[in-house]
Amino acid sequence: MDISYNKILLVEDDIKLASLTSEYLKESGFNVEHIEDGDKVIDKFNQFRPSLVILDIMLPGKDGMTLCKELRNIFSGPILMLTARNEAFDQVLGLEFGADDYVIKPVEPRVLLARIKALMRRISLSPKKSEQITFGELEINLDARRVSLQEKEVIVSSHEFDLLLYLAQNPGKILSRDQLFLKLYNRPYDGFDRSIDVRISQLRKKLGDDAEEPFRIKTIWGKGYLFIASAWSNC
């Protein structure tokens, strides 16, 4: 998929909020397309080919969680969820469905813009020359931010890609949650946030690791996670 790093698809059924958000983002240099009907999002996505999707949870037609899961089958870029303050948004469930981040409505424009820029930064900072990391039948392409196993593309979220890349860049080294949070989120681990655990679980599922006894991305209890370089041959 060709990527233009300023294209945002806004999925929001609150017309006033969508209009204000679209105008603010356009003034900030983004190309924004808005849609309010959940049943039409996939078609609109395929036509517009955005680099980031802002997705409300409560929508007419398909809800945001369902759409997030469907988009993850065809889209590896960032997905930012919108949730009203009184909605029972399950952060873990959102991460499992493929969301990269979420913002609570009513949205403070500057906060939304900061979150968008942080997510965009992850996909726009490509190496100057093509780089690829290979372990057996696992290939991680840094330029395209693409993962493949046995020559088949594995669709991962932006944060899942960054997590896998960091693990693969440190094979045989135990990486603690503190290290992972500082590297990926620029903040220390607070002892409660489960986002790294959820994303590790999702990576294992997508990369054919054993959920009960993982042998590719191991959990070292009380210490952290370990990427096994020799576990990717003869997958």
Long-range CB pairs of 13-17 (<8 Å, 24+ gap) are 13/37, 13/56, 13/58, 13/59, 13/60, 14/56, 17/105, 17/106, 17/107
Task: Give the tokens for residue 35.
Answer: 């849609």
Q: What is the pLDDT of residues 70-80, one digit of tens each?
A: 998 888 889 99
* pLDDT band with cut points at 50, 70 and 90 for residue 131: confident
Q: Which regions of the chain carry the CATH code 1.10.10.10? A: 132-232
* pLDDT band with cut points at 50, 70 and 90 for residue 173: very high
Q: What is the pLDDT of residues 27-55, one digit of tens each?
A: 999 999 999 999 999 999 999 999 999 99
CATH of domain 132-232: 1.10.10.10
Supply φ then ψ for residue 164, to 5 degrees.
-60, -45
Q: Which regions of the chain carry the CATH code 3.40.50.2300? A: 7-124
Q: Is 106 helix (H, G, I), strand (E, B) or coil?
A: coil
d(CA 221, CA 216): 15
The class that CATH gives domain 7-124 is: alpha beta
